[in-house]
Amino acid sequence: MVGNIIGDVGMTRILLAEDDNDMRRFLVRALEKAGYEVIDYDNGLSAYNRLCEEPFTLLLTDIVMPEMDGIELARRATELDPDLKVMFITGFAAVALNPDSEAPKNAKVLSKPFHLRELVGEVERLLAA
């Protein structure tokens, strides 16, 4: 029964931080269509404040954002919840991959531009790991 499958995925809550409104709407639509519950913010600080209130399975964040960048957000978020999975979506992959950055070591990086199928596939792989 399809309901059960979607129900299981529905337990997966994704926190999305992306300051580009069009990109954010595009990502929310794709992930919700794939059966995930998505809470989205347009800056890292608001996303972090929400993480302080309740748990999420995955943090999907842009790197370059106002108020708090994605690397700082991910670092603080994984201090709050070491089990939180992190994926960066960025046009600046080299920034996230820099070993000197404070990014969580097991974070995944998806470089823009990407296909929605690619995003959903990467999210599924990361969550299954």
Mean pLDDT of 111-128: 91
pLDDT over threshold 60, residue 24: yes
- Report, as an integer, the average pLDDT of 70-91: 93
CA 98 to chain centre: 19
The three-state secondary structure class of 62 is strand
Residues whose CB falls within 8 Å of the CB of residue 21, separated by 6 or more in sequence, listed in order: 42
Output the pLDDT for position 57. 96
Give the ranges where the chain is alpha helix by DSSP (H). Answer: 2-10, 21-33, 44-53, 70-80, 93-97, 116-128
**Domains within the chain, CATH numbers bracketed:** 12-128 (3.40.50.2300)
Give the predicted TM-score (pTM) of the model: 0.85
Residue 26: its pLDDT value, please? Answer: 92
Q: Summarize the confidence of residues 80-92 as an average pLDDT.
A: 90
Residue appearing with tokens 């399975």: 57
pLDDT at 92: 67
Report pLDDT digits (tens) over 103-116: 788 888 888 888 88
C-alpha to C-alpha distance for 54 and 129, rounded to whole angstroms = 22
Q: What is the rounded CA–CA span in Å between residue 127 and residue 129?
A: 5
Please give the pLDDT value at position 35: 94
Specify the pLDDT at position 47: 98
